[in-house]
Structure 1
Amino acid sequence: MQSLTLPTGQTIRYYSDLDEFPAERRSYLTRYQIEAAEIDLSPEAIADRLGLILQYNAEGRGADVAVSLQNLLFSFNMIRMNYAPDELSFGVLIYDVDGVAVTDLSPEGLHRILKPLQIPLTIIQQVLDDVKKNSQTTESVISLGLQGMLR
């Protein structure tokens, strides 16, 4: 578990390694990470999606065009709603804020916690990247251990 003092002066404690991460939170984290991977929220991602749609259209892949257009529409709706799955993934990692436990992991509950904290996106991305690195290290150790057992 790590502590972080925010620019607002508040302190959060968050899970920095999936080994210490409670199992009941994993489904929320997985959901938000999948959404983050599938939703185009940046201008660059939207431009890439449009390029892909044009490519599918030129290749006569009508079904792929339809699916990509649906995904693009979904992304625009998420942008309109200010839905930020990376921010929600980060919120699931928070154990407490100034000693008050974070227990409502729904999008609405996490927004109530995160909005007043005004956490810069750079901090959110850094913490998420660090947790991913920590979990990859753990998975590598587990994989090596399993390989040793299988020999």
Structure 2
Amino acid sequence: MATTFLMACAKENAAPSTLVFGHFYGECSGERCIEIYQLNTRARTLAEDTQDQYPSATTPYQGQFVARPTTDYTQVSDLPNLIPTQLLAESGHVIGQPDAGDWGGYYLELNDQGTRRFWLIDTQKRNIPAYLHPLVDTLQSRIARLQ
């Protein structure tokens, strides 16, 4: 069951202003190995990163984003509302063992008024908490729609 993303302190708009999300694969070739997108809820836009750099576990992703069509934004506009609140309690940036067995990982970043929080999340459900299972299923299907 998905829950709304909540910040530690109460705000009128609980959803982050920007959500960066995507997937990455280290042992892969081709443009689709790393797909990172930036969803801006205030501007109602979706952009795609053109650098396709493997994300770091120590710093947020630094992409160069180009606009995607409005129809693509519509396909993923609800993602910020599907982020489980339990994710905010995670102490580290890596959840599970993303891409450890060449199975890839998901990148997720929440940016609200300049505060950036990010995670690399394993694609293998056996390696991540159950509360993340619906989110990784959703990320998988939404990223596939955008490709």
Query: What range is the shorter-chain TM-score in?
Result: under 0.3
Higher helix fraction: Structure 1 or Structure 2?
1
Which structure's relative contact order is higher, taking Cα pairs within 8 Å and 6+ residues apart?
Answer: 1
**TM-score calculated relative to the size of structure 1:** 0.26
Q: Which has the larger radius of gyration?
A: 1
